[in-house]
Structure formats: structure tokens, C-alpha cells
Amino acid sequence: MTAMDTILVTNSGSSSVKFQIFEIGSGNILKRQMKGTVDGIGSHPRLQVAAHDGSLLVDRHYSGEAVGDVATALAAAGTWLREEAKIHPVAVGHRVVHGGPDYDGPVRVDAEVLARLERYVPLAPLHQPYNLAPIRSVLSRFPDIPQVVCFDTAFHRNHGPLADYFAIPTHFHAEGVRRYGFHGLSYEYIASVLPTVAPDIARKRVIAAHLGNGASMCAIKDGRSVESSLGFTALDGLVMGTRCGQIDPGVVLYLMSEKGMSADEVQTFLYHECGLKGLSGISNDMRELEESDDSRAVFAIDYFIYRASLYAGMLAAALHGVDALVFTAGIGEHSARVRAGIAENLGWLGVALDTAANARHAQRISRPDSRVTVYVIPTDEELMIARHTWALLSRDTAWRSERERAI
């Protein structure tokens, strides 16, 4: 193996492809070389790549016809990586939101695995089709490059039956209708760095709040997921940018029986028209809402804080108490207002916020006398994917032998 062996990590959405390159250094230490994105797919595509130190490597625009979907966006990024950056990854790691009942850990992907994952598109329509597109593209164009898929559901698959089942006939559970939980790669990363960041609470009772356009909370004990706010799909739990979060199933029945909405229309409505966007009528972006003095924006923020606080209480019950609260992801890492609101609502649990530390986005934002320590820890899902990809391939003796013969 050479010092310049690299792993490509992809994280694809409907209008953007994010990717990162990790070098496999001595001692199998993964070092981030660069990160990039192709956004504006189909309208005003733009490739931007920055080196690990933040310096811009490329900023290139394409026509909407040239880069009209996720596959062509990945091809544009791949062409730049190969031909200009001279990057030839030994493997590709992908984030896939839903692993269903079949997969409880990373797996090397082939046509059969890809076909299985296609079955879970209805359970994560905002994510799964776009997660699978680059996998399909690489399989078609570079079939000899090993690909590894890492699942947002995997970290939660050790839940006990009380957390895992719905109160419906149990044969549905056997068919895969169960509470999966999501954002697992983010929570796994938080659990992995807590022994360094906060060794005194790393193995204790922790509530992690992944707050972003997609939002959830997770109860972690002894470094493992105990309970999650998300369930069968990515619609449950907290209010999100455009998703409703927890909702009475009767509302869905009402929309269909009284409003004449089809199942597809209800799905589009709940995934795209609700959440912060639906409540405010202004935006799904917390930054825009915080900048607005419109009463609807204020209400949407207060509602987001209120519902997150309720779920924190639920997760505290699952843990039989709480020792630490960790904020992560876009809103969790950058919104002092949201963190302060949730912390104030959790004063009864012993949360006491350091206002100045919170305002400057410090790593520890609780007061010394707080019974619950509160942290802000940036997540790194891409690093987790790279780690899983390399760990899985390193155990593959046939691949390692092939690789050594090629060097």
C-alpha cells in the first residue's frame, strides 16, 4: 500500500452531491485531504472543492443539461478528481439512510445488495433514491472499485424490544415494520469522541441532539444507542425543516378521507410542506427564521424548542436520568438561541447553561454547578464512513491480496 491510497466518501441528496477524500496514512490513520460538493444539480450546477486547510482547489460552473442528475454530478466530480487532482481512490464509502431489517452494519455493495436497498425507498423517499444513485453509477462505470455502504439505522439496531416494537400485531415486526432510528452515523461519531472530549461522562447517560434540517435525538448509555426520537421512517419525532415530526395517525386518515388526498399526495405533504416551513409559512431554514421578526417565525422557533425539550424528557426517562446533553449538526452547533431555549426548559433535570459560553459556541456550555454537563460537538459522519469502509476492506483477505499484487 502506498502513502497516497485514498478513500472517496459520498453523501448525496436530491440537488447536491457532497464528497470527501481521505488519505490512508501510516498506521492506517485516515487523514482528510479535501472536501467538495456539486450543488444546484439540474439548474445551476457548481463544483467546489477545498483542501483540508480550507484553501479553494476548484470552483467550476456547468450547464443544467451537462449536470442534470446525481449520476452526472458524481461523474463531473470524478472526472476532476481523476484527471486534475490525480486522485484514484482504492474504495468508495457511501451514506445510505435506511438499511431496513437486513443490515445492521456496513456491507460491501454489489448488485444484489443494491436491489435489496431499493426496497426501502418508500421508507426514506427524501434520501434513499439519491443515496443509491452514486452507488449505481460507480458499479456501472468502475465495477472493480470496492464500494461500502454505511447505514444511518445501524447504530440503533441494538435497541431492546420495548423500544423497537410498535403496538400493532407482531407479525408486522417480523416483516420489518419496526422503529429503526436514524442519524446513526452522527451519533456513532459523538459516542466515539466522548472518551476524549469528556471522559468522565463518556460511558454514562447521554442525550445527543442532532438538530438540523433533519433533526432527531438519541439516548446513549455506555456508548450505545438505547432509544431514538425517529422510528420507522424519517418523519417521526422532532419537528424538522420540512417534515412534520410526530403526528397523530388520525391526521393522515383525515387528509385522505376528508381532504381527498392520495397516499402519494400525503407523502409529499408530510415530507416537503410541513415542519418549520409549514409552521412559519416563511422558510425551512432556522437561520432565516432567527433573522425574521415575523411572529410566525418566532412561533416556529419556539415550537421547535418545545418539542425538542419534550423528547429530551422522554429520553431521560429511557435512561433513568441523564448525565450529559450534547448538541450537534447545523442548528445544534450554530444556534445559541435554540440551545438556550432547550436548556431553559430542561432546568428541572439539572441543566444550567453558561450564557457567555453558549454565545461563543464553546465546547462546554454548562455552568460548573450544572448537574447535567452540556456540550457542543461538531459531527463528522464522513469520517465514520471512511473508517467503516477501511475497516471492512482491511478484513477482506482476498481484496488485500489483490491490492498487494497490484502495487
Which contiguous run of DSSP H or E holds residue 335? none
Nearest CA to 304 out of 272, 271, 325, 277 is that of 277
Asked if 322 contacts 349 with a C-beta cutoff of 8 angstroms, the reply is: yes
* 380 is annotated as an active-site residue: no
Nearest CA to 366 out of 349, 351, 347 is that of 351
For 311, list phi and psi in degrees, rounded to 5.
-70, -35
Asked if 168 contacts 177 with a C-beta cutoff of 8 angstroms, the reply is: yes
Asked if 350 contacts 207 with a C-beta cutoff of 8 angstroms, the reply is: no
For residue 54, what are the contacts with CB-CB under 8 A and spacing of at least 6?
none
> How big is the CA angle at 170 (ends 165 and 176), to the nearest 5 degrees?
65
Which listed residue (152, 323, 354, 380) is catalytic?
Answer: 152
For residue 308, what are the contacts with CB-CB under 8 A and spacing of at least 6?
209, 211, 215, 217, 238, 239, 338, 342
How far apart are the C-alpha atoms of 206 and 226, rounded to whole Å? 10
Full strand arrangement of the beta sheet holding 216-221 = 224-228, 216-221, 205-210, 324-328, 373-376
Per-residue burial over 74-106, b = 16 or more CB atoms within 10 Å of its CB, e = otherwise: bbbbbebbeeebebebbbbbbbbbbbbeebeeb
For 356, list phi and psi in degrees, rounded to 5.
-65, -45
Residues annotated as catalytic (active site), given as ranges:
152
